Amino acid sequence: MRISELSRRSGVPVTTIKYYLREGLLPPGRPTAANQADYDESHARRLRLVRALVGVRGLSVSAAKDVLGGIGEHEGDVHQLLGIVLGSAGTAGAAAAAQAGAEPPRPRMAEVDALLDSLGWEVSDNAPTKGVIAETLETLGDLGIEYDWKKLVPYAELAGQIASVDLDGIQDLADPLEQAERALVLTFLLEPVLMALRRLAQEHQSAVRRRGPSADISPAAP
Amino acid sequence: MRISELSRRSGVPVTTIKYYLREGLLPPGRPTAANQADYDESHARRLRLVRALVGVRGLSVSAAKDVLGGIGEHEGDVHQLLGIVLGSAGTAGAAAAAQAGAEPPRPRMAEVDALLDSLGWEVSDNAPTKGVIAETLETLGDLGIEYDWKKLVPYAELAGQIASVDLDGIQDLADPLEQAERALVLTFLLEPVLMALRRLAQEHQSAVRRRGPSADISPAAP
């Protein structure tokens, strides 16, 4: 299809598509004339993904490029690909900070390692997500709240069950590239949903606990 | 204690404390002289909470004021207080947007109601968190991903278990104000941790699934 058709189908303006092409977020089309190229389904799908990363989740163009680069390089191996996508999702900024030497030392990182050991989770040593956990333990300490890694164990076990639901949800997709893209999109986009559900559940359970376990559940009770 | 002592103990500069006093984020101290006031433990605790909201989670001063106002008004009733805090946590911005008439209509809100009905959760009708879920369903639709509320049921059940862990964790605090403050801080600060744990679990489980269920689990296997 021509770039105008790609724009019409995706709802992304032609100028924006050209910008993504220049920045390498979208691979070039097949040249058909001096100033024309042909685009196919893979371009339409990649464009949707770019929009999800840049438009919806607010990643910078260079961070999105890092994430998408990971997909392109490992197209042969489904699980390798999935690992790259899941490992890099949303942490491109943290990785860039680490490369720039801007990553601060994390005094409570040993606790994060203890947590992962106790769970038996195998993750890459430099996963930037580990830094997020260490940093939060430090912040809680600064606020005078005693909080050690053992309190995170029940949360981690539930997060593990969430990850199972995540992975089950993409297993029916045949195409590995599509699988990786779906994993990336759902990992990102469901984050605010999961946190919203947690808050709604807190509100509900707080009301139930207020009434006590033996109280009448009917909301009409005086 | 004097304001200088409050500053020393909290690590918050005197000028910042004075700003919070002017903005009403911190209640005034007990006047002791023309230009002096005495502050107590409740000021120190409130100051920690303000720092967590404004400094760590990046709430605007007016959003933090809304949240803290909710605490102050319901000091008598533990569960009422808890409900206010949990309901308002992090949604002050959304509530302000709704008041300003800036909230867009949410075509998929009926699905969110269907989800909550199926779970039997009692939550306030105008919970801004509901809008987050409806909005995400719309975004997924825009990206060409078929996603209906039934797919959210397993996530919601796990979010409910997370909320149980949350509420259990504050039940040993005797003081209701402290309980509400702790709930607020942990709800906010554990969000990035929960999402980090989910990603680490995805990475781990993706590796385990790659090897297959019957494969040797030892990482040293060739």
Q: What is the per-residue pLDDT across A65-80, written as a single tens digit (0 to 9) for each?
A: 877 776 666 555 555 6
Could you tell me if residue B156 is inside a domain? Answer: yes
The pLDDT tens digits for A127-184 are 678 888 998 898 888 777 889 999 999 999 999 999 999 988 888 877 766 777 788 7
pLDDT, average across residues B78-87: 59
Task: Count contacts between A and B (CB, < 8 Å).
Answer: 229
Q: How many domains does chain B have?
A: 1
Token output for A31: 């040249």
Query: Does A4 map to a domain?
Result: no
| Nearest by CB: A198 against B123, B163, B219 | B163
Distance from CA of B162 to the nearest CA of A (A): 6
User: Quick one: tokens of B7?
Assistant: 């500053």
List, for residues A27-41, the tens digit of each pLDDT value: 899 999 888 899 998
Alpha helices in chain B (DSSP H): 3-10, 14-23, 41-50, 61-73, 78-88, 92-99, 109-119, 128-142, 153-170, 176-211
Residue-wise pLDDT for B19-68, tens only, equals 999 998 898 999 998 888 999 988 888 888 788 777 665 667 877 787 77
Does the residue A95 lie in any domain? yes
Q: Which residue from A48, A29, A32 is spatially nearest to A40, judged by alpha carbons?
A: A29
pLDDT at site B86: 61
The predicted complex's ipTM stands at 0.73
**Cβ contact B143–A200 (<8 Å):** no
Residues of chain B above pLDDT 90, percent: 31
In a domain, B59, yes or no: no
Picking from B82, B133, B197, the nearest residue to A206 by CB comes out as: B82
Query: Given a cut of 50, is residue A96 above it in pLDDT?
Result: no
Domain presence at residue B119: yes
Instruction: Using an 8 Å CB-CB cutoff, list chain B residues near A51.
Output: 143
- Please give, rounded to a whole number of angstroms, the shortest distance from the CA of A44 to a CA of chain B: 10
B173 lies in which domain range?
Answer: 99-210
In chain A the first and final C-alpha atoms are separated, in Å, by: 65
Q: For residue A84, what is the nearest residue in chain B, using CA coordinates?
A: B203
Spatial contact of B134 and B112, defined as CB atoms under 8 Å apart = yes
The CB-based long-range contact list for A150-153 (8 Å cut-off, 24+ gap) reads A151/B169, A152/A115, A152/B193, A152/B197, A153/A115, A153/A118, A153/A119
Spatial CB neighbours of A27, under 8 Å, sequence gap ≥ 6: A42, A43, A46
Tokens 């639709």 belong to B141
Cβ contact (<8 Å) for A185 and B127? no
Q: How close A191 comes to chain B (CA, Å)?
A: 7
Q: Answer whether residue B107 is part of any domain.
A: yes
Residue B3 falls inside a structural domain: no
What is the value of pTM for the model shown?
0.72
